[in-house]
Amino acid sequence: MRKNTKTNTRNTRNNKNPLSKKKYCYFCFKKADYIDFKDTQILQRFISSYSKIVPKKRSGICSKHQRKLSKAIKRARFMGLLPYTK
């Protein structure tokens, strides 16, 4: 009995925030070197409901890919594939 309670407390200590997941960079996972501005389905994942670019703190993208992504989104906006505002 005692042993079980001990392991339970340990588990609760480790899982302080059950909602927080470990974030990973989507483009590093896909090993993408270049982000295509024509691929709007992927770009729309990283756009908020007001069609703003989601900060990397929320999306979990690394800074290298965030820079490329923002450039791709801005290009797509200019070409009329994505909206500037909603």
Binding site for Zn ion (CB under 5 A): 25, 27-28, 62, 65
CB of 73 to Zn ion, least distance (A): 15
**Cβ distance to Zn ion smaller for residue 28 or 79:** 28
CB-based contact 45:53 (threshold 8 Å): no
d(CA 12, CA 17): 9
Q: Residue 47 in 3-state DSSP? A: strand
**Cβ distance to Zn ion smaller for residue 25 or 53:** 25
CB of 32 to Zn ion, least distance (A): 8
d(CA 54, CA 61): 10
CB of 64 to Zn ion, least distance (A): 6
**Cβ distance to Zn ion smaller for residue 6 or 67:** 67
Q: Using CA of residue 45, residue 55, residue 38, residue 26, what is the dihedral sign?
A: negative
